[in-house]
Chains A and B, each alone.
Chain A
Amino acid sequence: MLIENMRMAFSAIRANKMRSFLTMLGIIIGIGSVISIVSIGDTMRSMFEELYRKIGITQAYIAIGYWVDEWRESDYFSLDEMERIKEIFGDEIAYIDSDASTSGDAVCARTTVRFSYTGVDYNYQEVQPVNMVYGRFLNQGDVLGRRKNVVMDTVSAMNLFGVENAVGESFRATIYGSVDDYTVVGVYRKDLNPFQAMMLGANTEGGEAFVPYTLLTWPNDRFYDIRIFARDEATMDVFFDNLKSYVARSKGRQPEDFRLVTAKAQMGEMDSIMGGLATAVGSIAAISLLVGGIGIMNIMLVSVTERTREIGIRKSLGARTKDIMVQFLTESAILSACGGLLGVLLGGGIVMMGGRMLGVQAIVKPGVVLLAVGFSAMVGIFFGMYPASKAAKKDPIEALRYE
């Protein structure tokens, strides 16, 4: 019976192709916009997730809060303190450094390139993928011996030396005002997609290099923040809390005086922005679905009137109120679901195309597609209720007499 009803519904829709299509338009646009928004949201989320994974999801910075009125000398960190934190938290820390960075001109022969330097520890590679292509990464000897060795990316090497494989090359760099010769010990390749390049700031002109952090932070230096990677993503929240308490205590402050910025929290912020966007566009989509539903109700009312005689015939053959009701409900549900399906194709298509243009893999989740089609069928049933009950209540003899 259901299959029979569906067959009849499709033949009725096919009999009035143009009309059916125009009726579906509201649903198509409504569902299309829902699908594109949800898919854009999903795509953005996954892009940011990947981005943060690249940055390191367990990464955090701790520093004195900007809301604290008077900063003391002791609110800053020293290398000794960092060593103590390393000792106390031991295994829970995957990586720790002084988050030092600076920039200055690098000169090789007649080429001068503006370089930015990041001070890292030898085990930086354990927490951040560095895709070495030539030479090696900085080692413990470099860090402890404060050797003037650097690791740079292929683009920087190209800019400064005109070759990618710059291992063994040396250049003159100005760091914190002192000019010294530095040697390239390794070259890595950055693999960023266009979105990540945009967010992380791709460099095409200047240069970037890793240097031992001991070159940038000296034993008596005081520095603003510590960069830490937790060992375990699952327990990192507790670890960071403990860390904050410890740091505050050791500096005679309250834990809430210190600011702990985690990549994870930033990601959560991103999510809530996306969520706000989704509700805004979602309500627009809801309105267009409402309008689409009313369109369906309208056309079903027309259809019921047009087919009054058919209803009379069916009743004369033994169709009960329920049978007619179900027949017309099936029709409006299918009409609306077809609109939903077209909307999914439209919205999904636009997102996919946009994604391809931006060089991003767009995500259209099958669950969302099913939900959208199901929901549009529900819209069809809801707005088909009135026309269907009108059809079902028709008196057989009146309906048969209808011209």
Chain B
Amino acid sequence: MGFWNRGRTEDLGGGWPQRKVEARENGAGKLWDMWRKSLKKALKFPEYITENVSEELIRLEDLVKVYDTGALKVLGLKRINLTIHRGEFVAIMGQSGSGKSTLMNILGCLDRPSMGHYYLDGVDVAAMNPDELSLIRNRKIGFVFQSFNLISRTSALKNVELPMTYAKRNKRFREQRARVLLERVGLGKRAEHMPNELSGGQRQRVAIARALANEPPLLLADEPTGNLDTAASVEIMELFSQLHKEGTTVVVVTHEEEIAAFTERIIRFRDGEIVSDKPNVPREPEPCGGEGFGASEEGEAIGDTDSDRQKALGDRLC
């Protein structure tokens, strides 16, 4: 696997700085190329990693998740059927305990469904072993958590490098790309800082940079703005919008309508079931009134009902 990657290091990814490999004319060079190609073939990743086979990035079929806590069984998800296409920008909403995180964990291959199928790029991941799932998470999924989940006592740069380390990228490539990513989320000057030297918003941006490290097609965020103030939340969501425009599929769990408003599709959950699934026109084109953001459909579900915050968010958006 490591060898295969070594053959791949000249490609820093679409939009990223490219290192050109000069064509070799002489015989030795040709031999070298042939050797490289055969090695590439021999040590290739499984197809479910390398081939972007499916236009339907995510398809859930009768997906059930049962939490077995000994005495009683909790039904986390009840027969979910859902398709998310490549390039969509989806918000998942719902009351506390409605199963949003349960779904996200399954989508992120952190957890397995109890029943049913989860096709990621046309491959059923429910049947995979832990190491195969690790590979999938490493290559196909970027996960952003509510609590940031940066590794402490490890610089922002090293945190961002981590997924590339597990992808066996070489050090030069890792560092170069991590710097580019941090630059991109506006933290170019904070690369050497430790997580505890960063604000919540900055930490979350580091986490996003980290999620993007291996250019995953799918970005999952479970309440990414849950611990952030309005300004920071907006920054994060704007970043997601931009990523979405560049072609990444983004799925965001949120309690806040204002956050969901950034997306193009809103799926609502209740008691482990999808209760509504509607397209949404992203907020940018339509200007809005302050009260439009004040009331949330599931008001009691919002942990932070600070009206100042709502107003600030409204002001910022309009």
- A residues neighboring B (CB under 8 Å): 1, 3-4, 8, 11, 15, 309-310, 312-323, 396-397, 400
Q: Which residues of A contact B150 (CB under 8 A)?
A: 313
Listed residue (A3, A316, A319, A397) with the most chain B CB atoms within 10 angstroms of its CB: A316
Verify A11–B134 contact, CB threshold 8 A: no
**Nearest CB of B to A296, in Å:** 21
Verify B166–A397 contact, CB threshold 8 A: no
Verify A317–B135 contact, CB threshold 8 A: no
Q: Identify A320's interface contact among B134, B145, B171, CB under 8 A.
A: B134
Verify B131–A321 contact, CB threshold 8 A: yes
Verify A397–B162 contact, CB threshold 8 A: no
Q: Which residues of A contact B137 (CB under 8 A)?
A: 315-318, 396
| Interface check B34, CB cutoff 8 A | no
A319 vs B137: C-alpha distance when bound (angstroms): 9
**Nearest CB of B to A271, in Å:** 50
Given contacts A314-B151, A317-B210, contact A397 B134 (CB under 8 A): no
- A-B contacts besides A310-B152, A316-B149, 9 pairs, CB < 8 Å: A8-B154, A309-B149, A314-B151, A314-B162, A314-B166, A316-B143, A317-B143, A318-B163, A400-B110
Within 8 A of A (CB), among B113-159: 130-131, 134-135, 137-139, 143, 145, 149-154
Verify B110–A316 contact, CB threshold 8 A: yes
> Would you list 8 pairs from A and B whose C-beta atoms are within 8 A, ordered by A residue?
A309-B149, A314-B151, A315-B110, A318-B167, A320-B135, A321-B131, A323-B166, A400-B149
Q: Which residues of A contact B86 (CB under 8 A)?
A: none
**Nearest CB of A to B316, in Å:** 31
**Nearest CB of B to A54, in Å:** 58
**Nearest CB of B to A189, in Å:** 64
A3 vs B165: C-alpha distance when bound (angstroms): 11
| Interface check B40, CB cutoff 8 A | no
Verify B154–A397 contact, CB threshold 8 A: no
Verify B167–A313 contact, CB threshold 8 A: no
| Interface check B257, CB cutoff 8 A | no
Q: Which residues of A contact B163 (CB under 8 A)?
A: 317-318
**Nearest CB of A to B210, in Å:** 7
A318 vs B149: C-alpha distance when bound (angstroms): 14
Q: Identify B153's interface contact among A15, A309, A322, A396, CB under 8 A.
A: A15
**Nearest CB of B to A305, in Å:** 16
Verify A321–B130 contact, CB threshold 8 A: yes
Verify B154–A11 contact, CB threshold 8 A: yes
Verify B135–A318 contact, CB threshold 8 A: yes
Verify B105–A320 contact, CB threshold 8 A: no
Q: Which residues of A contact B110 (CB under 8 A)?
A: 315-316, 396-397, 400
Query: Which residue of chain A has its CB nearest to the CB of B137?
Result: A318
Instruction: Count A/B pairs, Cβ under 8 Å.
Output: 64
**Nearest CB of A to B12, in Å:** 19
A3 vs B162: C-alpha distance when bound (angstroms): 13
A323 vs B163: C-alpha distance when bound (angstroms): 12
Q: What interface size band does chain B fall in? A: 20 to 34
A309 vs B151: C-alpha distance when bound (angstroms): 9
Verify B108–A320 contact, CB threshold 8 A: no
5 closest cross-chain pairs (CB), A and B? A318-B138, A318-B166, A320-B134, A397-B111, A320-B131
A397 vs B171: C-alpha distance when bound (angstroms): 29
Verify A397–B105 contact, CB threshold 8 A: yes
**Nearest CB of B to A281, in Å:** 41
A322 vs B137: C-alpha distance when bound (angstroms): 15
Verify B143–A320 contact, CB threshold 8 A: no
A15 vs B171: C-alpha distance when bound (angstroms): 24
**Nearest CB of A to B50, in Å:** 15
**Nearest CB of A to B309, in Å:** 27
A397 vs B111: C-alpha distance when bound (angstroms): 6
A318 vs B165: C-alpha distance when bound (angstroms): 9
Q: Which residues of A contact B190 (CB under 8 A)?
A: none
Q: Which residues of A contact B138 (CB under 8 A)?
A: 317-318
Verify A319–B105 contact, CB threshold 8 A: no
Q: Identify B166's interface contact among A309, A310, A319, A396, CB under 8 A.
A: A319
Q: Identify B168's interface contact among A1, A15, A312, A313, CB under 8 A.
A: A1
Q: Which residues of A contact B134 (CB under 8 A)?
A: 315, 318-321, 323
Verify B166–A317 contact, CB threshold 8 A: yes
Q: Which residues of A contact B165 (CB under 8 A)?
A: 1, 4
Given contacts A318-B134, A318-B166, contact A313 B151 (CB under 8 A): yes
A400 vs B149: C-alpha distance when bound (angstroms): 9
Verify A320–B151 contact, CB threshold 8 A: no
Q: Which residues of A contact B105 (CB under 8 A)?
A: 397
A312 vs B149: C-alpha distance when bound (angstroms): 9
A320 vs B130: C-alpha distance when bound (angstroms): 8
Q: Which residues of A contact B153 (CB under 8 A)?
A: 11, 15
Within 8 A of A (CB), among B205-221: 210, 214
Verify B139–A318 contact, CB threshold 8 A: yes
Query: Which residue of chain A has its CB nearest to the CB of B169?
Result: A1
**Nearest CB of A to B317, in Å:** 31
**Nearest CB of B to A6, in Å:** 13
Verify B166–A320 contact, CB threshold 8 A: yes
Verify A313–B139 contact, CB threshold 8 A: no
Q: Which residues of A contact B171 (CB under 8 A)?
A: 3
Query: Which residue of chain B has its CB nearest to the CB of A323?
Result: B166
**Nearest CB of B to A316, in Å:** 6
A1 vs B150: C-alpha distance when bound (angstroms): 19
Q: Which residues of B contact A319 (CB under 8 A)?
A: 134, 166
A400 vs B214: C-alpha distance when bound (angstroms): 21
